[in-house]
Chain A
Amino acid sequence: MAQSSVITQVQTIENKPSDSYWQFLDDKKISQVARVLGIIAILNIAIGLYMALFYAPTEKTMGDVQRIFYFHVPSAWVGFLAFFVVFAASIMFLWKRERKWDALALSAAEIGVVFITLVLITGPIWAKQAWGVYWVWDARLTTSLILWMIYIGYLMLRSTAEGERRARFAAVLAIVGFIDVPIIFVSVQIWRTMHPELLIGSDGGLAPQMTQTLMACLLSFTWLFAALLLQRLRLEQARERLNVLREREG
C-alpha cells in the first residue's frame, strides 16, 4: 500500500458496516504534519506576541488594554473558520454519508468551541477596562454567546446519542447554527452596538504596525488551528479503529 501521501489507500476492514465506512489516513504522516504545523504556530505566536507587546504602538484612547485585541480577533477568526469547516463537512456528510466528514465536523466543532470560549473570556476582560463593565447585552456580544451555546449544544448532542442518527441530527444543527456567523459579522452594521468595528487601511483605522501585528497573530492562530485539527482528527480516527477492534472482539 502506497504511503506517499497523507491521504493513503483505503484499508478494507472485514465485517465493517457500510454506514461507518472510514477511509483511514496514515497516522504517522498526519502526526508529522501536525507536529511541523505546531512548531510553525509556536514560532509565529512568539513573533506575534513580541509584536503585540513591543512593536505595535499604544492605542491613544484605550491604552495598553487594546493589546488584548491582537489575540482576541485571531481567536474569533479561528472560531469562525472552525465553524465554517463544521458547516461544510456537515453538508458533505449529509450528501455523501461518509463517516470521515462527520469526524471532521466533530473535530472542528470542538476546536471552534475552545476558541470562541477564548473570545468570550478575553472580550469581557477588555470591556472591563474600556467600558467599565465586563458584559453588556450588545448585539455582537449576544450573537457570539448564542454561537457558543449552539455549538456547545452540538457537542452535547454528540455525547448523548449514538450512531448514524446522532450524526445526522448534529449535522443539521451545525448547518442551521452556522447562520449565526454572518449575523455576528453584520451585527455591528445593522444594530446599534458598543463593540468596536475593525477598520483597516482607512481614515481613523489601524496604524500600519497594528495591522502588521494583527496579521502576524491571525496567521499564527491559523497554523495553530490546522495543527489542532489534525491532532483532533487523529483522535477520531484512533477511536474509529478502536471501535472496529471492539466489534471484532465481540
Chain B
Amino acid sequence: MSCAKGKDDPMEYTAIAYGLIFAVVVGYMIHLRQRLQAVQRERNRIESKER
C-alpha cells in the first residue's frame, strides 16, 4: 500500500485528524458537564422550593 503522491502534506492530514479527535473529546466533556450542571440546578430549584 503506497501513499498517494500529491501536493498534500501527510502531516497536515495527521494534524487535522488529531485536532478533530481533540475537538470531539473536549466538546463531549463540556457537553457532559453542562448537562450535569443543568440537572443539578433544577434539583437545587426543586429542593429549595420544598424547604
Contacts and interface: CB of A to CB of B under 8 A. Distances in A.
Tell me the dominant secondary structure on chain A's binding face: helix
A71 B21 contact: yes
A131 interface: yes
Given A61-B3, A228-B29, A68 B14 contact: yes
Interface string A81-98: 000000000000000000
A128 interface: yes
A68 B19 CA distance: 11
B14 A64 contact: yes
B46 A246 contact: yes
Residue among B8, B14, B36 with most chain A CB within 10 A:
B14
A68 B17 contact: yes
A117 B10 contact: no
Contacts of B11: 64-65
Contacts of A126: 13, 17
B3 A63 contact: yes
A238 B40 contact: yes
Interface in B1-51: 1-4, 8, 10-11, 13-14, 16-18, 20-21, 24-25, 28-29, 32-33, 35-36, 39-40, 42-43, 46-47, 49-50
A84 B30 CA distance: 25
Given A68-B17, A125-B16, A129-B13, A242 B28 contact: no
Interface residues of A, number: 39
Interface in A105-132: 114, 117-118, 121-122, 125-126, 128-132
Contacts of B3: 61-63, 65, 129-130
A16 interface: no
Interface string A67-78: 110011001000
A242 B39 contact: yes
A228 B43 contact: no
A216 B50 CA distance: 50
A38 B10 CA distance: 31
A238 B39 CA distance: 7
Interface in A43-73: 49, 61-65, 67-68, 71-72
Interface string A175-202: 0000000000000000000101000000
Interface of B: 1-4, 8, 10-11, 13-14, 16-18, 20-21, 24-25, 28-29, 32-33, 35-36, 39-40, 42-43, 46-47, 49-50
Interface of A: 49, 61-65, 67-68, 71-72, 75, 114, 117-118, 121-122, 125-126, 128-132, 194, 196, 224, 228, 231-232, 234-235, 238-239, 241-242, 245-246, 248-249
Q: 5 tightest CB-CB pairs across the interface, nearest first? A: A65-B10, A132-B4, A64-B10, A238-B39, A122-B17
